[in-house]
Amino acid sequence: MLDFRNTNTVWASVLAETLQRLGLTTAVICPGSRSAPLTIAFAQNKKIETIPILDERSASFFALGTAKKSYLPTALICTSGTAAANFYPAIIEARESRIPLLIFTADRPPELRDCHAGQAIDQVKIYGNYPNWQAELAIPSASRGMLDYLRQTIVYAWERSQFPTPGPVHLNIPFRDPLVPVPDIAVEALETEFNPEDFFAGLEPIFAGESSTPPSPPLLRGGEESTIQKWQKCSKGIIITGVSQPQFAEKYCSAIAQISKSLNWPVLAEGLSPVRNYAQLNPHLISTYDLILRNRELADKLTPEIAIEIGDLPTSKELRNWLDKTQPKRYIIDPSHHNLDPLHGQTIHLRTSVEKLAANLATILTLVPPLNKGGLGGVLTSPSNEYLQLWRNTETQVRQTIDQKISAINNIIEPKVSWLLSQILRPATPIFIANSMPVRDVEFFWKPNNLEIKPFFNRGANGIDGTLSTALGVAHRNQSSIMLTGDLTLLHDTNGFLIKNKFVGHLTIILINNNGGGIFEMLPVARFDPPFEEFFATPQHINFAQLCATYGVEHEIIDDWEQFKQKLSFLPNSGIRVLELQTDRRSDAKWRQDNLGKFAAD
C-alpha cells in the first residue's frame, strides 16, 4: 500500500493512496524522469487504472473524456518543463465545460530553478486563472506531520475539483533526487512505526451532489408577485435547453418536461441536449427553432414575454440574435456560479438544478391558488394556448419538410449524416460530436427520437484540439461509441491514435472528409479568395486510408447511405475504425445556404 523505500516513494504513495480512498479510479500518466515517483506510486496501486500516454495534449484530452463519462475526477500526471504546457488546452476546456480534473505536474526543487538546470520552467500558476484551485506542494518529507499535511491537501484538492463547481485543480510537485526507489535505511525504519489504518482513518469517497451555490431570488417572493405567479400568468413563455451533458439524462429530461407541462410552454431543445433523444417525455418539444426563426414574420409572431434558459444557450446564432432583439424577461437555471448570459440581458440567475426547480414548482403549484388563463370563476382550465400551438404546428410542418427533403437525397452530403444518425444508432449509444460544422448540422437536422442516445462534446471553449483523444476517453471502458468529425479536426489530433494499444472498448469514427474547413464556407470570408482557400479552408489533401494504416486502424470509404446504415447497425466490441464519407465542401455549403432559410418559408 505505502512504499517506504525512500522519502519520495512515501510521499508519492501517500498521494496515490489518499486519492484511491477518496474515489479516484483512473490516472493518465505521460512519460518523464522528474515525475518518476508519481508514476511508480500510481502504477503500484492496483485499485487505480493507470494509463500511459506519450503525447501530453492527447493525454490531457483523454483524461477529460474519461471524466466527462464518469463524472469523477481523473488524475493527469507529467514531468517538468514544457510537458506541463501541453496540458493547457484541455485544462481550459475542463474549466469552461465544468469537468473535474486533477493535474499533477512534477517539478525541479527550488534550488534548480532559474539557473539553467535544464527542463525547468516556471510552473507555478502556469495555467493562470483556469484551475478551481492551485498550489505548489512542499518538498517531500517523511515526517508524520508533513505526511498529514500532504493527505489533507490532497483531500482538499479532490473536493475543490468538484465543489462548488466541477473543474480542474493543479498541484505542482517538486522532487529532489533520487527520483527512483533507491532504498534509504532511515526511511525504511519508519515503516514499523507507521499505522496506515490510523493514518487514513475516516477517509471515505467524496462525490459531488448538487453544488453549494450563491443564493437565488426566491420563487415565492418578489414584490407584488412571485416568480412562479409571473410564469403562470404568462401564455407567451418558452423554455430553452442548451448544450448539456447531465449525469442522469432521463431525470433531467423528465424535469424539463414537467416544467413545460405545468406552464404549457414549448421547449426549444438544442441538438446536443439529451432532450431530443427522450422525445416521448415532452409533448411540447421544438427541434427546428433555428430554421423557424429564419422566417422573420414567424419570428415576430413567436416573440416571447418570458424565457427560462436551462444551462448554456444553444449554438444557434439565429436564436441568440432573436433573444437579443426581442428582449424577453429571462431566467437562467443552473447550479454553478458562472455567468451564463453572453447577451448581457436583464436576466435573473436562479442558481439551482432543473430537477430541484421542477420539484419546487410542483410543491408551489399545490400551495398557490391556480391563476385563470381564460377559464371562469378563477378555476384553472386547460387553455387553448395559441402561442404554444403556433410553435407546435410550425415544428410539425418544418420537420416534415426537412424529412421529405433530406430523405430524397441519394448522394453523399454532410447534412444528411446527422439527420440519419439520429434515427439509426442503437439505443443509448454514446456519440462524441466534434466542433465546427458537425455541431451545427446536429442542431439543424438531429431528429427527435426515443433512442436515449448520449451526446458528448467539448463546448466549453469550442476548440477542435484534442477531439479524438477526448472521444477515446469517453469510449474507454464504455459501451461501443461513435465520433462524428470533420477532416481538419481529426488531423489536429492524430496522435490520439497512439492511445490505441491501451484503449479498452470500441470507437467508430464517422469522418466527413470535405478536404478543408467546411464551416468557413458558411462565413462572409468565403467571398474573399485569395486568401480564403489557402488560409481559411486550409485543405490538407490527406489519404486517410494510408494514415489509418500507419496506426493500425481499420478504415473504409462509404459510398452510399445503405452501406452507411449497414455499418452502423452493429458496432464492434473492440478496436477503432474510421468510416470516411467524402463530400464536396462548396456544394454542401451551397445546399445549406439555399435551403436553411426555406424550410419554414411556407
What are the tens digits of pLDDT across the range 190-247? 999 999 999 999 888 988 754 444 445 566 554 456 888 899 999 999 999 999 999 9
Does pLDDT of 282 surpass 80? yes
Q: For residue range 309-326, list pLDDT tens digits in order.
A: 999 999 999 999 999 999
pLDDT of residue 378: 35
Are 187 and 6 a contacting pair, CB within 8 Å?
yes
pLDDT at 213: 47
Band of pLDDT at residue 384, cut at 50, 70 and 90: low
pLDDT band for position 1 (50/70/90)?
confident
What pLDDT does 381 receive?
35
What confidence tens digit (pLDDT) does each residue in 72-98 have?
Answer: 999 999 999 999 999 999 999 999 999
Segment 107-139, tens digit of pLDDT: 999 999 999 988 899 999 999 999 999 999 999
pLDDT band, very low/low/confident/very high, at 365 (cuts 50, 70, 90)? confident
Q: Name the grid cell of 534.
A: 489557402
Contacts by 340-349, CB closer than 8 A, 24 or more apart: 340/309, 340/311, 340/312, 340/313, 342/313, 343/313, 347/309, 348/217, 348/227, 349/216
Q: Residue 71 — very low, low, confident or very high, per pLDDT cuts 50/70/90?
A: very high
d(CA 225, CA 227): 7
Q: In the predicted model, what is the mean pLDDT of the chain?
A: 93
Q: Minimum mean pLDDT among 294-303, 359-368, 448-457, 490-499: which range? A: 359-368
Predicted confidence at residue 377, as pLDDT, reads 33
| Residue 370 scores a pLDDT above 80 | no
Nearest CA to 485 out of 471, 500, 475 is that of 471
Give me 221's grid cell.
Answer: 417572493
User: How confident is the model over 150-179, as pLDDT tens digits?
Assistant: 999 999 999 999 999 999 999 999 999 999
Output the pTM of the full model.
0.94
Cα–Cα distance, 354 to 465 (Å, whole number): 31
Average pLDDT over residues 523-542: 94
Q: At what angle do helices 414-424 and 585-595 cross, to 10 degrees?
A: 80
